[in-house]
Structure 1
Amino acid sequence: MQLDRIDKQILGLIQTNFPVVSRPYRLIAEKLGLEEAEVINRIHKLRQAGIIRRLGGLFDSRKVGYVGTLCAMKVPSQDIERVGGVIAEYPGITHNYLRDHEYNMWFTLLAESEQKIESILNDILSRTGITQVLNLPSQKVFKVRVKFDL
């Protein structure tokens, strides 16, 4: 999909300053001199094209009482889809991806406590038959804010 000037303007507005109002798309439309339906339609097309992967709020999980960790597992290539599917069932999983490494499946996990994280990881091991998971909690958080200049 080729982005035109209006698509780029919409993306510029929603990536850092999404309006938290009852009709955000109407407000975006007003700022750009468009109709609300056109903004909704364009965002829908951008999502269908995979340009927008997710549209929603981001919260600092630590400030609302959650702890997080990065995890890695050695998953045989023939089990990637099955194990990935099991991991995806847990609501605290925020990312799940493959790497070209001995530990090839990596994921991030948020939970209410370190004990809950251990419980979830033990459950994942039990359900998948994988024998080991690296639990790599962060020592220091470096949050990087990204804004794509379109």
Structure 2
Amino acid sequence: MTDTMKRSGAPVELDATDRALINALQGDFPLTREPFAEVAAAFGLAEDQVIARMRRLLDARVLTRFGPMFQIERIGGAFCLAAMRVPETDFERVAAAVNAFPEVAHNYRREHALNMWFVLATETPAGIEDTAARIEATTGLPVFRFPKEREYFVEMKLEA
């Protein structure tokens, strides 16, 4: 049985194995020399099959990211929630410009006066201001910064 998920363009077929991989790999990814081989063994697949499935899910944008989560501040970096007020007629252009910055993650449209929200992640705290200024110069729109005041750990897992 397969289900269809629509992501940026054509529908993407997800079979039971895709869903099981997505669900299993949201935590507990093996920290070993050959982690994909371990995952493959647990699912009765070949290592290259697991890697190919993950690549397909990433390429199709069913998954937007696959990798570890770091507390970036512990290694000298910084995160900042940011928002913009983008005219609806210019939203797609501004979204593309903002998303072109490698420091931008988790860009979402919202039903609010500040209708574009995203996270800035930089190697240094000064990088937040630099990146926000470059986004402003590129888009011609102000970037509102909402620095983290307190950290909360929310282990959010989404079932596929």
Give the shorter-chain TM-score range.
Answer: 0.7 to 0.9
Aligned partners of 1:72 and 1:133 also within 8 Å: yes
Aligned partners of 2:135 and 2:143 also within 8 Å: no
Pairing partner for 2:75 from 64, 67, 77: 64
The alignment status of 1:142 with 2:149, answered yes or no, reads no
Identity of aligned residues (%): 34
Aligned to 1:118: 129
- Following superposition, the deviation at residue 121 of structure 1 comes to 1.5
- Following superposition, the deviation at residue 119 of structure 1 comes to 2.1
Letter in 1 for 2:144: L
Q: How has the CA–CA distance of structure 1 residues 5 and 63 changed in structure 2, closer, same or farther, with 3 Å as cutoff?
A: same
> How far apart, in 1, do the equivalents of 2:46 and 2:123 lie?
43
Specify the structure having the higher radius of gyration (Cα). 1
Q: Which has the higher helix share?
A: 1
Pairing partner for 2:109 from 60, 80, 98: 98
Aligned pair count reads 149
Let me know the Cα RMSD of the aligned residues: 2.5
TM-score (norm. length: structure 2): 0.76
Classify the secondary structure of the residue corresponding to 1:16. coil
Letter in 2 for 1:17: D
Aligned to 2:29: 18
> How far apart, in 2, do the equivalents of 1:100 and 1:149 lie?
25
Classify the secondary structure of the residue corresponding to 1:56. coil
- Following superposition, the deviation at residue 102 of structure 1 comes to 1.0
Q: Which has the higher strand share?
A: 2
Aligned partners of 2:82 and 2:120 also within 8 Å: yes
> How far apart, in 1, do the equivalents of 2:57 and 2:25 lie?
12
Aligned to 2:10: none
Aligned partners of 1:71 and 1:106 also within 8 Å: yes
Letter in 1 for 2:44: G
Q: How has the CA–CA distance of structure 1 residues 37 and 68 changed in structure 2, closer, same or farther, with 3 Å as cutoff?
A: closer
Structure 2 runs not aligned, ≥5 long: 4-13
- Following superposition, the deviation at residue 73 of structure 1 comes to 1.2
TM-score (norm. length: structure 1): 0.80
Aligned partners of 2:83 and 2:117 also within 8 Å: yes
Q: How has the CA–CA distance of structure 1 residues 50 and 119 changed in structure 2, closer, same or farther, with 3 Å as cutoff?
A: closer
